[in-house]
Amino acid sequence: MTTHEAVLHPPALINELKKNDITHIVWLPDSETNFMYQMLQAEPTIDLVPVCREGETMAIAAGLWVGGKKPVVLIQNTGIFESGDSIRGLGLDINQPLVMLIGYRGWTRRGATPDSAARFTEHILHAWGINYYLIETDEDADRIGLAVEEAYRTQRPVGVLIGAEFGSE
Amino acid sequence: MINNQDAVKAIDNKRDGAIIVPTMNANNVHFGLPTVTSNQELDLPVSGAMGKASSLALGLALAQPDKKVFCLDGDGSLLMNLGTLVTLSNKAPKNLYHFLFNNNVYAVTGGQPIPGAEVSDWEGMAKGAGYASVFSFDNLEDLTTGLEEVLACEGPVFIHLRVEPEVENTPVQFRQRPSRTVQQAFKDLPQALGVK
């Protein structure tokens, strides 16, 4: 079994979401971000909205946003591929300031990744013209704030790729 | 079976300030909600959303818990996003009313039968997914008189409507466009709700 020193912890991300007044996380759990689940469930200021399929998340977020709330979505990069038409129609076309937290499956800084999910992720975001930030450590967490600011300033979706070795505390 | 325009008119007549999220035939410019609406600013049309009208309505219902939200869905649309039944019932918004316009065809693509036409049990699916109440209507008189009972129930409520197919064969780019764009609707609604 391989172990890595954890460099990204749930409080760093959740505190940043709270600091930016995020009201809802529309979520389909994934292996890259499941470390936040228990802490998010216990967080009284943020409502979790679990979905069955990732394409639902952008539409639910659109409803929350047009109804006056401030949601983000949290899905895996594979879910981004699945959600293409929702990102087009209910993100880009309606000018939704949608922050998408994306578990970066397959991401590594060490050598080549065998995972095509990682290899295609940034190309897909480029194709849509969606800007994005990368979070790998607790010190990067304030990039969520940058993404929120950019999304609301430009009225466009913005991605936050979570490519970390995470911890449980 | 119920005529499409009669159905949307009956629903609009009972909206009493509800937000309505119509899609596909229920949003058609010739016989859908845009032809009869009594409160356009509270309409959020989303045709071409690959079955996501109910997801959008769920977000709205969670954001605006004191306001009724009606989703006017299509059967082909719901099949594209069937997991929404469970997603929606899991959050169980008491203010959400999910109307299904069931004509058993893909009416906007020429009338091809949907998978499972005449076989699928829509009411059974909604019940099985956990909706608080389920209704079904196949004629206008029952719908008109039954809506009061429907809207007195706490949501999420699923209302199955057996409607007449209104088939279109013209390619999308040659059809009449709605006079009010989706972008405009997304600007109007927050102002009408007083949230922006």
Q: How many domains are contained in chain B?
A: 1
Of B44, B46, B183, the CB nearest to A95: B183
Per-residue pLDDT reduced to its tens digit, B4-23: 999 999 999 999 999 999 99
Per-residue pLDDT reduced to its tens digit, B133-149: 999 999 999 999 999 99
pLDDT of B172: 79
Note whether A67 contacts B64, CB cutoff 8 Å.
yes
The 3-state secondary structure of A109-126, one letter per residue: CCCCCCCHHHHHHHHHHH
B48 touches chain A (CB under 8 A): yes
* B9 CB neighbour count, 10 Å cutoff: 18
* A154 CB neighbour count, 10 Å cutoff: 12
Q: B79 with B51: CB under 8 angstroms?
A: yes
CATH number at residue B60: 3.40.50.970
Q: B43 with B33: CB under 8 angstroms?
A: yes
CATH number at residue A95: 3.40.50.970
B50 touches chain A (CB under 8 A): yes
Distance between the two ends of chain A, CA-based, in angstroms? 20
The CA distance from A122 to A109, in Å, is: 15
pLDDT of A169: 42
Residue in chain B lying closest to A87 (CA): B49
- Residue A22 belongs to some domain of the structure: yes
A127 touches chain B (CB under 8 A): no
Note whether A90 contacts B56, CB cutoff 8 Å.
yes
Cα Rg of chain A (Å, integer): 15
Residue in chain A lying closest to B86 (CA): A52
Residue in chain B lying closest to A84 (CA): B50
Residues of chain A with Cβ-Cβ distance to B182 below 8 Å are: 93-94
- Residue A88 belongs to some domain of the structure: yes
Q: How many domains are contained in chain A?
A: 1
Per-residue pLDDT reduced to its tens digit, B151-187: 999 999 999 999 999 888 888 788 888 888 999 999 9
Query: What is the mean pLDDT for each group of 10 consecutive residues in chain A (169 residues)?
Result: 67 95 94 82 94 98 98 96 96 97 91 92 97 95 98 98 67
Task: List CB contacts of B12: < 8 A, sequence separation 6 or more.
Answer: B20, B33, B36, B37, B38
Task: List CB contacts of A88: < 8 A, sequence separation 6 or more.
Answer: A128
Q: Give the structural domain span for A70.
A: 10-106+120-162
- Residue A126 belongs to some domain of the structure: yes
Per-residue pLDDT reduced to its tens digit, B65-121: 999 999 999 999 999 999 999 999 999 999 999 999 999 999 888 899 999 998 999
- Residue A167 belongs to some domain of the structure: no
- Residue A1 belongs to some domain of the structure: no
The CA distance from B85 to A139, in Å, is: 40
- Residue A24 belongs to some domain of the structure: yes
The CA distance from B117 to B129, in Å, is: 20
Q: Give the structural domain span for B116.
A: 4-193
Token pair of B101 as six digits: 């316009």
Residues of chain B with Cβ-Cβ distance to A53 below 8 Å are: 81, 83
